[in-house]
Structure 1
């Protein structure tokens, strides 16, 4: 393994994202699967389930990015794995942007036109929206496969490995850079503008309606803030690298760090799930309760903390037995 301080930091970040994102997304997956199996599930739960699957795809491919970082960004695995990893990894990122936009549209319609929305919402709308997001992202990201194999000057693998999806020839850059620009505009800026507009209206309505409780208002603001952070902090640097690359006619040297920020999306989305769905809040509450009981038994303090645990968990139990207080879609 050959690492320097830069690759070591990136490797550490990937490991942290993997360890935090995987269990949280698996909990969310279980919760959303339960909601989708119910009769006439809300379109938003289908979109949230699709977003969870996109995050899990990224997380399952993250070990390959870890190996790449561990070897100072030299790819020693089969070149086919390089292309497939990049294809799935970047497709997951761009699928997430349009799924987030779809969720924001659904939230806005649910509070702006509650009666019409409840009468017209059908699960098939969520399925269609999710399929469109997946097809758009996977269709656009086929350039990763093409770019990796098309007349590459470095395809002759040596003992030092190759660089995966980097060091393109001039002929490759003539194809890759314009496609990256199109990715940035159509799969980042357009869904971001839609999302900002929808959540601005959504939060405004939630804050100005007198019958909306303080807890729901806080969740509405939290949902909007987490989604905005997703676009600006996670997806922003990577897509700005597309603009810089198109202007300078070469890949910027900080692209690897930008990819790390995009991966952070998989750890940030569970917060969005928490604000979005009572089912996820119950799942997270049960998970924390199990961890608390396990740690208590390991430390031999189960008996002393039983009373405290009962009081602390009372809110969760009440939430389970009470009618859902989520946004109108619940």
Structure 2
């Protein structure tokens, strides 16, 4: 039986999976349709790749759920531990660089609208996404080669295995500097870039008189969600790298920090909503489908209510109005 700490982490992982997976699948469908059109914008290519990074994390999350269910005893093979960790942690750092790329694109679009529109090419989005994937997974490969395959050790007095937690002093001398580099290069640097770009982006949006109130609200929402991603989701996990480097050991609260790192997969759909009208329409259609399905189920259970609804088309139209307003660009 998992203890209280493991139970809370387990509940958090389940909530992240249940909320993040359907929202990211809806976003994936929307972005795939958008990038298949002629001359897709670089931002949609970056947003598509951010969705893929989130889905990779979510598809690996069941392994973290199983681990938390077993009170963090790893009952699979060492190779499964290495591959799971490689994909899981690499996807987190891929997201930081993709968020920075999205912020740069948004800033350039409002700061230099004419020049940016003339020079905008889909290949720029592809190149930026490739850089993010190579940087994050390249560093993850270094961790596997140098450290990961030998990091799973027997837990004393229990004869049970843990995944990516127990390290020898020789391993820590290699691992801790790598974690410090990850923190500086793949967290602090993209966070500084993102903060600067969205500060300028929001300032321009708020000071331009021709910008509508709705666009200004979306600009503020986009900036807030992006910065929350860095501070709330990626912040605790990367601060644990700094603390670990100072203490010469992994902090005890690193498990909780990893949970916050996973939370970005549930927070990113809000960023997609503020970023793209395609996603807003997709989310609106999804909510509308859920509404119709709920109404259908309710009608089967309550025949009289269904008949009353069918006889009054005005009620149906009124109920559908909020969904239409939600999806309007």
Q: Give the drift of 1:299.
A: 1.5
Q: Give the drift of 1:68.
A: 0.6
The answer to whether structure 1 residue 94 and structure 2 residue 104 are counterparts is: no
The answer to whether structure 1 residue 237 and structure 2 residue 242 are counterparts is: no
What TM-score does the superposition give when structure 2 sets the normalisation length?
0.93
Q: How does 1:163-174 map to 2 (within 5 A)?
A: 163-174=162-173
Residue 195 of structure 2 corresponds to which residue in structure 1? 196
- Separation in 1, partners of 2:135, 2:211: 37
Residue 302 of structure 2 corresponds to which residue in structure 1? none
In the TM superposition, what whole-angstrom CA distance separates every residue of 1:294-321 from its partner, at most 9, and x where no partner exists?
Answer: 111211245264132233234257x3xx
Q: Give the drift of 1:167.
A: 1.0
- Separation in 2, partners of 1:165, 1:153: 6
CA, structure 1 residues 314+139, in 2 after alignment: closer, same or farther (shift >3 Å)? Answer: closer
Q: Give the drift of 1:153.
A: 7.5
The answer (yes or no) to whether the contact 1:86–1:144 under 8 Å persists in 2 is no
In structure 2, runs of 5+ residues without a counterpart are 300-304
SS at match of 1:73: coil
Q: Give the drift of 1:24.
A: 0.1
Residue 261 of structure 1 corresponds to which residue in structure 2? 260
- Separation in 2, partners of 1:171, 1:143: 16
The answer (yes or no) to whether the contact 1:144–1:165 under 8 Å persists in 2 is no
CA, structure 1 residues 149+205, in 2 after alignment: closer, same or farther (shift >3 Å)? Answer: same
Residue 328 of structure 1 corresponds to which residue in structure 2? none
CA, structure 1 residues 60+139, in 2 after alignment: closer, same or farther (shift >3 Å)? Answer: same
The answer to whether structure 1 residue 315 and structure 2 residue 329 are counterparts is: no
The answer to whether structure 1 residue 184 and structure 2 residue 194 are counterparts is: no
Residue 29 of structure 2 corresponds to which residue in structure 1? 30
Residue 316 of structure 2 corresponds to which residue in structure 1? 306
CA, structure 1 residues 315+75, in 2 after alignment: closer, same or farther (shift >3 Å)? Answer: same
Residue 60 of structure 1 corresponds to which residue in structure 2? 59
- Separation in 1, partners of 2:262, 2:212: 34
Report which structure shows greater RCO (CA 8 Å, sep ≥6): 1
- Separation in 2, partners of 1:188, 1:104: 14
The answer to whether structure 1 residue 148 and structure 2 residue 148 are counterparts is: yes
Aligned residues: 317
In structure 1, runs of 5+ residues without a counterpart are 320-324, 326-330
- Separation in 1, partners of 2:142, 2:155: 20
The answer (yes or no) to whether the contact 1:74–1:160 under 8 Å persists in 2 is no
CA, structure 1 residues 157+249, in 2 after alignment: closer, same or farther (shift >3 Å)? Answer: closer
SS at match of 2:259: helix
Q: Give the drift of 1:159.
A: 8.2
Alignment RMSD (CA, Å): 1.7
- Separation in 2, partners of 1:201, 1:153: 46
Runs (4 or more) in structure 1 with deviation over 4 Å come to 155-160
The answer (yes or no) to whether the contact 1:111–1:202 under 8 Å persists in 2 is yes
What TM-score does the superposition give when structure 1 sets the normalisation length?
0.93
